[in-house]
Amino acid sequence: MSTDTDIVPATTTTIETQAPIGTPAATTEVEALAPLFPANEAVDFRASWDAIQIGFVDDPRLAVRSADQLVAQVMNALAASFAHERTALEGAGTGAGTDAAPLAAGSRSTEDLRVALRRYRAFFQRLLAI
């Protein structure tokens, strides 16, 4: 399994968007989506898929069973990754690591809440990109 240090963090880019004539252009921050898997894990999944495709010629039934198993393995890894990330997000706003909701801590500053919301937005965008 991988560690959090293997995952490349998301980056932020500022872009100018089209605005109606006569109004100033709007500036929007767009966060690049972090990869779903650490690079080494993605390479392993792709290598397994390549082997399955090559094996189709010799044994199509086995290739389809293997593809089903690989997809299940990838889905389980993805679910575990997102569960871990969600747990980290839940604790981020409280500083407690596993404490429930960031909003539960009434003493959180607006800046802390803004950072927590940005992290949730990035996580949400990754979920929708699948």
Residues 4-33 have pLDDT tens digits of 444 444 444 444 444 445 544 444 455 677
Q: CB neighbours (10 Å) of residue 64?
A: 12
15-27 in b/e form (b: 16+ CB < 10 A) is eeeeeeeeeeeee
* Residue among 18, 17, 19, 15 at smallest CA distance from 29: 15
Q: What's at 107, amino acid-wise?
A: S
Residue 67 has a pLDDT of 96
pLDDT tens profile 96-114: 444 445 455 567 788 888 8
Pairing of strands 26-31, 12-17: antiparallel
Say yes or no to pLDDT of 2 above 50.
no
Strand partners, 97: 91
